[in-house]
Chains A and B, each alone.
Chain A
């Protein structure tokens, strides 16, 4: 009798674990959205915060978020594509140079975001003299999303090995093969990788609080400090009594933008079944 029950118990444990995970996700999303959605309106998105964020909207925060993530993606794109093309084209897959590069990217991927914040603060704010600015924050994030974007770009480039060999068979020079064959073929994957990076960048707060800072004014240029959505939520939740309502509203906006990214990523890259961790 005891032995006969065991398969059922085991199945039950597996399914219970899965159900628990789904329920937790639903509970968190529902909680945030039910408390935040009612406050999100056109006005909320287009007006400046008042009373330290308790009232008013998030317009400058949205602009800063777009600027920081824009700088991050613009800086990460050439770095990541360059590293990926280097790994595919310039060195053999098992050479020392390839292993070293891949190892370094692996270590970079494991560096905690707060350490990126420390390094970014010293390199970009102090040494390069950008101060607390959107540029400093964006460049710090670019370092952070470099490994993941490079990894996605590399796997995508390797999928088009046949096109590459065909190019070489036609006697094309290497730079033609990269520019005209491999990069266009791999473009969807490269942009999917950047989408992944965007998801990371827009969710990040630890690397930004002392690189792009938390000034809430509308930024005039990339040399101004500006707070992103995630930093705004953090500030409202931790430092502003009575800021909860707008914190949830901002979180709803943030969740919506992240959901859009996940959907876009799945649409661009879903057939490959890659993992989004």
Chain B
């Protein structure tokens, strides 16, 4: 037990090297800082491991091979990732092109159209969409979407199927984050424009959405980041042939799918080349994070 004298005279925030410290308190402070360092270490660890894993392939083939090689035969020294990068971008951009506008409309609905009950109910719908596992989306895409597309344009497993499945998965992210951005606007903005005689649609389009531009853009960026990293749902519906995405009905392979498909049997340089795929993916996501920071939207509530 510490004496009551030290307890009462202690300043509210404990500093490590100032004033008398009971041993227990010192241990507590150390544990506290250790857990903070652990959180930082977790992120650093993931990135460092990714770099270490990529090193053998990068030293053996060089970064240039991953960009310049035309084909992906990692066991025969062909490391071209460009087709897969293009496919990843195409699927994700397509998904965002669908989910972005839809998600913004959903956010507007919750904020300015729905009453309390309808808004809360629709939020539950969005949360459910966000909570459905990606393999379930993939299963649905395989058994419903792909046969429909195949009846129209065989073989069905295609970029288009990937875009549709992914847009459903990204929509709740965009909608919820955009709604959080709209919520942070001062109420006077919308009410004031109504009071000045603006129609509701004009107030939303011209005043509200243009004021929340940053937050909405940030929501879309985060949605795009989600789309880039999505593995299984896309893998199950896009066919996974390594090819440039030259038509919506072409079979393509995305970067995360490439890792998931080949990691099970890859060894040595091949395995390392898959880590380089992960590095490329991480670089794309990192670029988006930087862009999002530049636009400076609302901080994601939990993202």
Chain A contacts to B: CB under 8 angstroms: 6-7, 10-11, 13-15, 17-18, 20-22, 24-25, 28-29, 31-32, 35, 78-79, 81-83, 85-87, 89-91, 97, 100-101, 104-119, 121-123, 143, 146, 148, 150-152, 168, 171-175, 178, 193, 196, 199, 202-206, 209-210, 230-231, 233-234, 237-238, 244, 247-248, 251, 254-255, 258-259, 261-262, 266, 274-277
- Residues of A within 8 Å of B73, CB to CB, are none
B29 contacts A by Cβ under 8 Å: yes
**1/0 per position for B16-38, CB-CB distance to A under 8 A?**
00000010110011011111101
Query: Given A109-B303, A234-B236: A116 and B135 within 8 A (CB)?
Result: no
The contact of B36 among A86, A118, A122, A276, by CB within 8 Å, is A86
Determine whether B250 belongs to the interface, using a CB cutoff of 8 Å to chain A.
no
Smallest Cβ-Cβ distance to B54: which chain A residue: A118
A sample of 8 cross-chain residue pairs with beta-carbon separation below 8 angstroms, ordered by A number, consists of: A10-B200, A14-B113, A22-B122, A32-B140, A78-B35, A118-B274, A152-B302, A276-B302
In the complex, which of the residues B39, B176, B263 has the most CB atoms of chain A within 10 Å of its own CB atom?
B39
Please indicate the chain A residues that have their CB under 8 angstroms from the CB of B105 in the complex: 13-14, 17-18
A113 touches B39 (CB 8 A): no
Which B residues touch A143, using CB under 8 A? Answer: 42, 46
Q: Is the CB of A97 within 8 A of B131?
A: no
- Bound CA–CA A171/B229 (angstroms): 49
Q: Give the distance in Å from the alpha carbon of A142 to the alpha carbon of B32 in the complex.
A: 19
Q: Which of B28, B101, B139 contacts A248 (CB 8 A)?
A: B139
Give 7 A-B pairs besides A86-B32, A209-B260 with Cβ atoms closer than 8 angstroms. A18-B106, A21-B129, A101-B39, A203-B132, A274-B301, A274-B302, A275-B179
B259 at the interface (CB under 8 A from A): yes
Asked if B46 and A234 make an inter-chain contact with CB atoms under 8 angstroms apart, the answer reads no
Asked if residues A114 and B229 are in contact (CB atoms below 8 Å), the reply is yes
Complex CA–CA separation, A104 to B39 (angstroms)? 7
Interface size class of B (residues with CB under 8 A): 35 or more
Which 5 interchain pairs have the tightest Cβ spacing?
A112-B229, A82-B35, A203-B133, A10-B201, A86-B36
Assess A115 versus B136: contact at CB under 8 Å? Given A22-B125, A86-B32, A274-B302.
Answer: no
**Who on chain A is nearest to B255 by CB?**
A114
Pairwise interchain contact B131-A82, C-beta atoms closer than 8 A? no
Which of B127, B231, B282 has the most C-beta atoms of chain A within 10 angstroms of its own C-beta?
B231
Q: Which of B288-303 contact A (CB under 8 A)?
A: 288-289, 300-303
Q: Which residues of chain B (121-178) have a CB below 8 Å from chain A?
A: 122, 124-140, 142-144, 168, 171-173, 175-177
Residues of A within 8 A of B32 (CB): 82, 85-86, 89-90
A112 to B144, CA, bound (A): 26
Interface stretch, picked from B7-15, B56-64, B75-83, B187-195, is: B7-15
State the CA gap A112–B257 with chains docked (Å).
12
Report the minimum CB–CB distance from A86 to chain B (whole Å). Answer: 4
- B252 interface hit (Cβ, 8 Å): no
Task: Determine the distance from Cα of A107 to Cα of B45 in the docked complex, in whole angstroms.
Answer: 12
- Inter-chain contact A17/B39, CB cutoff 8 Å: no
User: Assuming the A-B contacts A18-B106, A206-B256, A209-B264, are A275 and B289 also in contact, with contact meaning beta carbons closer than 8 angstroms in the complex?
Assistant: no
B162 CB, min distance to chain A CBs, angstroms: 15
When each residue 260-296 of chain B gets 1 if its CB lies under 8 Å from chain A and 0 otherwise, what string results? 1001100000000011001001100110110000000
Q: Is there contact, CB below 8 Å, between B229 and A115?
A: yes
| A172 B127 Cβ-Cβ under 8 A | no
B196 near A: Cβ within 8 Å? no
In the complex with contacts A114-B278, A255-B132, A262-B127, A119-B302 CB distance below 8 A: no
Chain B 193-224 interface mask (CB, 8 Å, partner A; 1/0): 00000011100110000000000000000100
Q: Given the complex, which residues of A lie within 8 Å of B106, measured CB to CB? A: 17-18, 21
Q: Is B232 an interface residue (CB 8 A)?
A: yes
- Tell me, in angstroms, the Cα distance from A86 to B291 when the chains sit together: 28
Residue of B nearest to A121 (CB): B263
